[in-house]
Amino acid sequence: MYDLLLIRYGEIGTKGKNRHVFEQRLEANMEKALRGLGIDKIERAHTRFYIPLTANTYDMVTKLQKVFGIASISPVKRVALDTDAITQAALDIMADSLAKQGASSPGQCTFKVETRRANKGFPLTSPEMSKYLGARLLEAFPQLSVDVHHPDMTLQVEIRERFSYVYTERIPGPGGLPVGVSGKGALLLSGGIDSPVAGYLMMKRGVAPLAVHFHSPPFTSERSREKVLELAQILAGYGGPIPVHIVYFTEIQKALNAHCPPKLMITIMRRFMLRIAEAIAKAEGALALITGESLGQVASQTMASIFVTNQVVELPVFRPLIGSDKLEIVDLAQQIGTYKLSIQPYEDCCTIFVPRHPETHPKQLEVDAAEAKLPVDALIEEALDKTEVVLCGEG
């Protein structure tokens, strides 16, 4: 029935002189997403793409719905610039659509025809074409009746320079910008609910993430490490692969536990996390850190805590969830497919050695003084030395 997918992009259209950079990235990301489905060529034509339907439409659309930058997708039939050919395509598409809906009684299904004629050389005007096709469809299918305001179905015809396109569906894409156009960011990825969602949101704005995970064996188990790799694998489905840097955090936690005032432990631990993530980010050419923090959610996420932890890094820290409620975050986690995994109960390094009363308003001077008792640089160096990198979502 259909022979192509028509891909429209949204925000990229506003990019002026840089537009081709965005288009190239989107094309490459679509190719990657469709790898293995036998696509040999994606056609680019003025603010849109055409992809041959070489595989099952549903499979292809499902994959493309995870490619950021796509505004909408329509399965289309491409025909010549010829009224008879367009009419035949419209009849075929309508027959198929009515059969799928099981519409059999007279007038049961309402429709309208919409024509857009970009090619002014075509002999019929848009209203003339719509009127003509509407009459032919009514004649052929007694199940149809016209409703121009709230039709069940709209048959779309686009008359362009070289071809005409006929279709009925406009399937929403994920929006956003193609992954990679905004550069790299280092995502502090825990096994919790929030950080995978934060990573997803930054990917949606074109960031290619690398992940940094702090792992404290034997206090945190092999399974908790696997869980994080599985979360990274799910995120990689939106534009991976994602390298996950697994940082050996045990000695740092032991040192904190032995030498820090309990109420400042979390603040200092988070400062270590940010410092290490920044060192990895810089080595990998990433220009921002990303966390799943949400203002006020826990003691380490008050403004005062965020202020004191932020002091130790110079890269910007993106916190896309800072203004979101937990329920909103949970909703998104469910939509993107990370929630079920995130709620599996495995320990995280944040949950071991947790003081009963963490400081909600840590003072910079006190934190600096407590930290001065630790061999900060040596601890960080050791943790970085023992960092292992696992690539998630390749192939």
Beta carbon of residue 177, minimum distance to ligand ATP (angstroms, whole number): 22
Task: Choose between 75 and 192: whose C-beta lies nearer to ligand ATP.
Answer: 192
User: Does 350 interact with ligand ATP (rule: CB under 6 A)?
Assistant: yes
Report residue 160: phi and psi, to 5°: -110, -165
3-state helix, strand, coil in the chain (%, to 5): 45, 20, 35
- Look at residue 208 and give the partner it binds from ligand ATP, Mg ion, none, a contact being a CB closer than 5 to 8 Å depending on partner kind: none
Positions in 276-305 near ligand ATP (CB under 6 A): 291-293, 297-298, 300
For residue 47, which of 81, 5, 105, 8 has the smallest C-alpha distance? 8
- Counting contacts by CB under 5 A, is residue 199 touching Mg ion? no
Contacts of 19 (CB under 8 A, 6+ apart): 12, 13
Q: Output 156 or 301, the one with its CB closest to ligand ATP.
A: 301
Strand partners, 6: 50, 74
Binding mask 214-233 for ligand ATP (x = CB under 6 A): x-------------------
Q: What are phi and psi of 208, to 5 degrees?
A: -95, 115
Shortest distance, position 368 Cβ to ligand ATP, whole Å:
21
What are the CA-CA distances from residue 154 to residues 8, 58, 150, 325 (Å)?
A: 18, 20, 9, 38
- Separation between Cα atoms, residue 246 and residue 387, nearest integer Å: 5
Which one of 66, 136, 204, 213 is in contact with ligand ATP (CB under 6 A)? 213
Residue 188 interacting with ligand ATP (CB under 6 A):
yes
Least separation in angstroms between residue 376's CB and ligand ATP is 18
Cα 3 from Cα 52, distance rounded (Å): 6
109 touches, from ligand ATP, Mg ion, none (C-beta below 5 to 8 Å by class): none
90 binds, among Mg ion, ligand ATP, none (CB under 5 to 8 A by kind): none
> Judged by CB under 5 A, which of 190, 250, 253, 294 binds Mg ion?
190
234 binds ligand ATP (CB under 6 A): no
Residue nearest ligand ATP by beta-carbon distance? 192
Given the complex with Mg ion, which of 177 and 252 has the nearer CB atom?
A: 252
Strand order in the sheet with 183-188: 317-318, 289-290, 183-188, 207-215, 242-248, 388-392
Q: Which is nearer to Mg ion, 52 or 217 (CB)?
A: 217
By beta-carbon proximity to ligand ATP, the closer residue of 64 and 349 is 349
Q: Which of 75, 192, 199, 239 binds Mg ion (CB under 5 A)?
A: 192
Amino acid letter, residue 307: F
Residue 193 touching ligand ATP (CB under 6 A):
yes
Instruction: Name the binder of 297 from ligand ATP, Mg ion, none, CB < 5-8 A by kind.
Output: ligand ATP
Three-class DSSP labels, 267-329: HHHHHHHHHHHHHHHHHHCCCCEECCCCCCCCHHHCHHHHHHHHCCCCCCEECCCCCCCHHHH
Residue 309 sits in the site that holds ligand ATP (CB under 6 A): no
First vs last C-alpha separation in the chain: 31
C-alpha span between 77 and 163 (Å, rounded): 10
- The residue range among 25-33, 216-224, 343-351, 383-391 that interacts with Mg ion, by the rule CB under 5 A, is 343-351
Choose from ligand ATP, Mg ion, none: what does 112 bind? Cβ within 5-8 Å by kind: none
- Give the HSE-up count for residue 356: Cα atoms under 13 Å, Cβ half-sphere: 0
- Contact between 220 and Mg ion by CB under 5 A: the answer reads no
Residue 247 Cβ, how far from ligand ATP at the closest point, in Å? 8
Where are the extended beta strands (E) located within the chain? 4-9, 43-44, 48-52, 70-79, 109-117, 144-146, 153-159, 164-167, 171-172, 183-188, 207-215, 242-248, 289-290, 317-318, 388-392
Residues forming the site for Mg ion (CB under 5 A): 190, 192, 350
Which residues contact ligand ATP by CB under 6 A? Answer: 188-190, 192-195, 212-214, 291-293, 297-298, 300, 348-350
